[in-house]
């Protein structure tokens, strides 16, 4: 009910003002008629009219001033309430924004949980707030993050799905609330163990749902009865929805990260099989020939064989160092693309003694999407590995350039012996590496083209649209 007034004057509400507006004119007309017949009957008609008009104008002025004053008070109350409501909604919007930022940082979700729950508690002005999660194996709900003056019961408490406010929110996938617990619930109070332990009188819980189903719930509680507004429910539901998106993103990121790790293991396994395993097998088989050659008096042949074995061992050592460098660079994919490629070429040139050159556009800062940066580095790694193993090149170039507004072109070329595509031994040896490069290119929506000619080197071009970000 909107009321106007202060401590020095009467408080007038809208229904009362309506009655005043109806009753006052009627009472005034009745009073005028009584005065006319009782006190002005003996006066001439002109005098009666003048007195009545004067009294009417005076009363109208007084009545209008009073009404305008009351209306002005009500208007100020409306303005103040509108200002307070706008301020409250702005404060809630800012709180939701902060919660959204915390949730968007899903890689650090565990570390941010307590701050998120504290924001929820402040946003809804509650005594306590909790983030409850569903254990997918036991199907029990435990309280992962809590804020407020709580007992220690929640630390060891686990509730079943369908039990308590959080369990009922998870099982029904809708908001569950009570405004005067346990009087307004039909279930036994003991089926709400958390609320009983914390002596809650009002509680509201919203489910956190991902694509895999319910993952938990968010609970807010009060130790006195409270009427939950529609806006309160919308705020909690909005936070729970954002939390579900954050958990889903975290799950997808973990899944992609695990797949990338498996892919990297497969690549390293292929490198070890193609490089170290074959080299060590060769050394193991040929080292046995050295004593036989010495005993047979073929010292020159033995020395030549030892030289060959030494060269193979040195190659194995270089392969190991390259594998270690690749692993280290995998852990540094957070850097910019130009720096990563530059480090890659420097290490490649130092290891293989092949002269390298990085060709860049006039503005060398290429801000590419994270997934594109990872795949481009891997493609260049594979291309350089093929050059070292098969090309017999003395020089290698890597070119990074923009195509249009958002496209990226990567060119890897060498001055090696080249090959006829699909026809000779080198093409067969490099087929696996080219297939990997093609798969990586396709994973970011790009295209790969290989051109080569015997005696004129090889050129690998990768074109990725929508790679550059602002």
Looking at the domain assignment, is residue 200 inside a domain? yes
Residues 458, 398, single domain; the answer is: yes
pLDDT of residue 199: 92
CB of 338 within 8 A of CB of 364? yes
Question: Both 84 and 116 in a single domain?
Answer: no
Q: Which of 99, 127, 157 is the last residue of a domain?
A: 99
Q: Are residues 408 and 455 in the same domain?
A: yes
Angle, helices 370-386 vs 337-352, to 10°: value is: 20
**Residue 469 located in a structural domain:** yes
The answer to the question of residue 276 being in a domain is no
Domain assignment present for 288: no
In terms of pLDDT, which residue wins out, 424 or 233? 233
Quick: pLDDT tens for 203-233. Answer: 999 999 998 899 999 999 999 999 999 999 9
The pTM of this model reads: 0.51
Orientation angle between helical segments 299-330 and 337-352, nearest 10 degrees: 170
In terms of Cβ atoms closer than 10 Å to its own Cβ (0-12, 13-18, 19+), residue 134 is: buried
pLDDT over 50 (residue 427) = no
| More confident site: 436 or 159 | 159
Query: Do residues 414 and 461 share a domain?
Result: yes
pLDDT at 331: 47
In whole angstroms, give the CA distance from residue 366 to residue 408.
9
Q: In this structure, are 85 and 123 located in the same domain?
A: no
Q: What is the pLDDT of residue 33?
A: 73
Helix, strand, coil in percent for the chain, rounding step 5: 60, 15, 25
Higher pLDDT, 323 or 462: 462
Single residue among 47, 70, 99 that ends a domain in this structure: 99
Using pLDDT thresholds of 50, 70 and 90, give the confidence band for residue 9.
very low
Cα–Cα distance list, 235 to 121, 141, 369 (Å): 11, 23, 33
Nearest to 368 by CA among 338, 345, 344: 338
The per-residue DSSP string of 326-389 comes to: HHHHHTTTTS-HHHHHHHHHHHHHHHH--EEEEE--SS----B-HHHHHHHHHHHHHHHHHIII
Tally of structural domains, the chain? 3
215: cis peptide before it, omega within 30°?
no
Q: What is the pLDDT of residues 267-323, one digit of tens each?
A: 666 656 555 666 677 677 777 777 887 888 887 887 887 877 776 676 666 666 666
**End residue of a domain, out of 206, 229, 247:** 247
Judge whether 362 lies within some domain: yes
Give me the domain span that covers residue 140: 111-247
Q: What is the pLDDT of residue 1?
A: 42
Q: Are residues 81 and 118 in the same domain?
A: no
Distances (CA, A) of 131 to 147, 189, 207: 9, 21, 10
| Same structural domain, 116 and 64 | no
Task: State the CATH number of the domain containing residue 470.
Answer: 3.30.565.10
Q: How far apart are CA 469 and CA 77, in angstroms?
A: 51
Residue 4 has pLDDT above 50, yes or no: no
**Which whole-number Å values give the CA distances from 201 to 30, 154, 204, 291, 348, in the listed order?**
56, 17, 11, 90, 68
Q: Of 147-151, 314-318, 438-442, which gets the smallest average pLDDT? A: 314-318
Instruction: Kindly state whether residues 77 and 189 are assigned to the same domain.
Output: no
Does residue 139 sit in the same domain as residue 72?
no
Rg of the Cα atoms in the chain: 41
List the structure tokens of 17: 């003002």
C-alpha to C-alpha distance for 457 and 438, rounded to whole angstroms? 19
In a domain, 153, yes or no: yes
Q: Which residue has the higher pLDDT, 326 or 55?
A: 55
CATH number at residue 207: 3.30.450.40
């Amino acid at each position: 009910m909107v009321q106007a007034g202060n401590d020095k004057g009467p408080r007038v509400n809208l229904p009362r003002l309506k009655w005043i507006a109806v009753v006052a004119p009627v009472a005034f007309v009745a009073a005028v008629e009584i005065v006319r017949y009782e006190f002005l009957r003996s006066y001439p008609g002109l005098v009666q009219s003048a007195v009545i008009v004067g009294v009417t104008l005076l009363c109208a002025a007084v009545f209008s001033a009073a009404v305008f004053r009351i209306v002005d008070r009500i208007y100020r109350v409306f303005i103040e309430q509108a200002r307070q409501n706008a301020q409250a909604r702005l404060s809630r919007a800012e709180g939701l924004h902060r919660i959204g930022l915390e949730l968007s940082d899903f890689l650090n979700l565990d570390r941010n949980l307590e701050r998120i729950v504290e924001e929820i508690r402040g946003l809804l002005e509650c005594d306590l707030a909790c983030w409850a999660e569903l254990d997918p194996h036991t199907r029990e709900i435990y309280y992962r993050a809590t804020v407020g003056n709580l007992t220690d019961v929640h630390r060891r408490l686990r509730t079943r799905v369908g039990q308590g406010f959080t369990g009922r929110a998870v099982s029904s996938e809708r908001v569950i609330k009570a405004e005067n617990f346990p009087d307004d619930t039909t279930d036994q109070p003991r089926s709400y163990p958390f609320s009983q332990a914390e002596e809650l009188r009002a509680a509201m819980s919203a489910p956190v749902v991902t694509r895999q189903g319910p993952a938990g719930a968010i609970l807010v509680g009060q130790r006195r009865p409270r009427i939950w507004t529609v806006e309160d429910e919308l705020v909690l539901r909005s936070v729970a929805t954002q939390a579900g998106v954050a958990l889903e993103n975290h799950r997808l990121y973990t899944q992609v990260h695990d797949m990338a790790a498996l892919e990297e293991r497969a690549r390293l396994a292929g490198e070890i099989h193609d490089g170290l395993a074959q080299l060590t097998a060769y050394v193991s088989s040929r080292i046995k020939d050295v004593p036989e050659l010495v005993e047979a008096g073929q010292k020159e042949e033995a020395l030549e064989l030892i030289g060959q074995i030494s060269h193979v061992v040195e190659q194995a050592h270089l392969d190991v160092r390259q594998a270690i460098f690749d692993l280290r660079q995998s852990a540094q994919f957070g850097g910019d693309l130009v720096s990563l490629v530059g480090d890659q070429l420097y290490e490649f040139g130092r290891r293989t003694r092949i002269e390298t050159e990085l060709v860049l556009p006039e503005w060398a800062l290429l801000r590419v999407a994270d997934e594109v940066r990872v795949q481009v580095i891997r493609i260049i790694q594979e291309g350089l590995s093929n050059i070292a193993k098969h090309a017999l090149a003395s020089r290698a170039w890597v070119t990074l350039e923009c195509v249009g507004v958002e496209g990226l072109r990567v060119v890897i070329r060498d001055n090696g012996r080249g090959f006829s595509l699909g026809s000779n031994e080198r093409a067969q040896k490099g087929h696996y590496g080219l297939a990997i490069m093609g798969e990586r290119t396709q994973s970011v929506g790009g295209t790969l083209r290989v051109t080569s000619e015997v005696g004129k080197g090889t050129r690998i071009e990768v074109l990725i649209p929508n790679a550059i970000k602002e």
